[in-house]
Amino acid sequence: MIKTVSTFAMAGLMALAMSGVSQAQEKTFRKMTSGQPAALQGAMTQSQARKACQMEMKGARESKASINTKMKLCIDQKMQGNS
């Protein structure tokens, strides 16, 4: 009888200890993932990227459709930090 009670008590303490560890890990993870995301190295805003791409495309002798396609690609690359 005493062995059974002590076994249940030990199992309860172990479960309590394990839940404490998982709660601490969860709090740590929440602290790590909260806040502002890290800025991409060399990334631009859409406005900055558009101006930079317009400067690059200035004087291009191509159709308007092909320039627009290249502009979209250029803006996407500059916004992701790929110059």
Are both 27 and 52 inside the same structural domain?
Answer: no
- 37: in domain: no
Are both 1 and 28 inside the same structural domain?
Answer: yes
Are both 27 and 62 inside the same structural domain?
Answer: no
What's the pLDDT at 42?
A: 77
Evaluate the CA torsion angle 38, 42, 43, 45 in order and state its sign: positive
Looking at the whole model, is its pTM more than 0.85?
no
Q: Which amino acid is at 29?
A: F
Judged against a pLDDT cut of 70, whether residue 36 lies above it is answered with no
- 81: in domain: yes
Are both 24 and 59 inside the same structural domain?
Answer: no
- Asked which of 1-10, 33-42, 64-73 is least confident by mean pLDDT, the reply is 33-42
Distances from the Cα of 36 to the Cα of 31, 48, 72, 73, angstroms: 11, 21, 27, 27
Give the range of the structural domain holding residue 20, as residue numbers without chain letter: 1-32
| CA 15 distance to own-chain centroid | 34
Judged against a pLDDT cut of 60, whether residue 56 lies above it is answered with yes
Nearest C-alpha neighbor of 58 from the set 71, 44, 45: 71
Residue reference for tokens 């076994």: 7
